[in-house]
Chain A
Amino acid sequence: MTEELVRATLKEVLIEEFEVEEDEIVEGANFFEDLDMDSLDAIDLIVMMDKKLNIDLKAEDAQKIRTIDEFVTLIMTRA
Chain B
Amino acid sequence: MRRVVITGVGVLSPLGNDMQELQEGIESSRSGVVHVESWSEYKDFKTRVCGLVNWEDYKVIPRKSRRSMGRVAIMAAKTMQDAVADAGLSEEQISNPRTGISFGSTMGSDAALFDSIGTIAKEKTFNGQNSMSFLQFMSHTVAANIAAMFKIRGRNIPACSACTSSSMAIGIGYESIKYGMSDMMFVGGSEEAHPYNAGIFEIMAATSTRYNDSPDQTPRPFDTERDGLVTAEGAGTLVLEEYEAAKARGAKIYAEIIGYATSCDGEHITTPSSEGMEQVMRLALDDAKITPDKVGYINAHATSTPKGDIAESHATYAVFGDKTPISSTKGYMGHLLGGCGVVESIIGLISLKTGLLPANKNLLKVDETCAPLDYLFEHRYGNHDIVMNNNFAFGGINTSLIFKKIEE
Contacts and interface: CB of A to CB of B under 8 A. Distances in A.
Interface of A: 18-19, 36, 38, 40-41, 43-44, 47-48, 50-51
Nearest to A18: B63
Interface string B125-147: 00011111000000000000000
A50 B128 contact: yes
A44 B63 contact: no
A47 B130 contact: yes
B43 interface: no
Contact of A19 (B63, B128, B131): B63
A36 to B, nearest CB: 7
A4 B128 CA distance: 24
Contacts of B130: 43-44, 47-48
Contacts of B63: 18-19
A43 B128 contact: no
Given A18-B63, A19-B63, A36-B64, A44 B132 contact: yes
Nearest to A20: B63
Interface in B57-79: 63-64, 67
Interface in B38-71: 63-64, 67
B132 A47 contact: no
A40 to B, nearest CB: 5
Interface of B: 63-64, 67, 128-132
A43 B64 contact: no
B66 to A, nearest CB: 9
Given A38-B64, A40-B132, 5 more contacts: A36-B64, A40-B131, A44-B131, A44-B132, A51-B128
B64 to A, nearest CB: 7
* B interface majority secondary structure: loop
Nearest to B130: A44
Nearest to B63: A19
Contacts of A48: 130
A53 to B, nearest CB: 13
8 contacts: A38-B64, A40-B67, A40-B132, A44-B130, A44-B131, A44-B132, A47-B128, A47-B129
A57 to B, nearest CB: 10
Nearest to A41: B67
A18 B130 CA distance: 13
B129 to A, nearest CB: 7
Contacts of A19: 63
A64 to B, nearest CB: 17
A42 B67 CA distance: 13
Nearest to B129: A47
A9 B129 CA distance: 19
B286 to A, nearest CB: 48
A50 B129 CA distance: 11
A6 to B, nearest CB: 19
Contacts of A36: 64
A18 B131 CA distance: 14
Contacts of B132: 40, 44
Contacts of B128: 47, 50-51
B63 to A, nearest CB: 5
Contacts of B67: 40-41, 44
A19 B64 CA distance: 10
A44 B67 CA distance: 10
Contacts of A38: 64
Nearest to A36: B64
A51 B131 CA distance: 15
Nearest to B64: A36
B106 to A, nearest CB: 26
A19 B130 CA distance: 17
B157 to A, nearest CB: 25
B108 to A, nearest CB: 17
A40 B132 CA distance: 8
A8 B142 CA distance: 36
Contacts of B131: 40, 43-44, 47
Contacts of A43: 130-131
Give me the 5 closest cross-chain CB pairs, A-B, nearest first. Answer: A44-B130, A40-B131, A19-B63, A43-B131, A47-B130
A42 B128 CA distance: 14
B68 to A, nearest CB: 8
A47 B130 CA distance: 6
A42 B16 CA distance: 38
Nearest to A50: B128
A50 B128 CA distance: 8
A36 B64 CA distance: 9
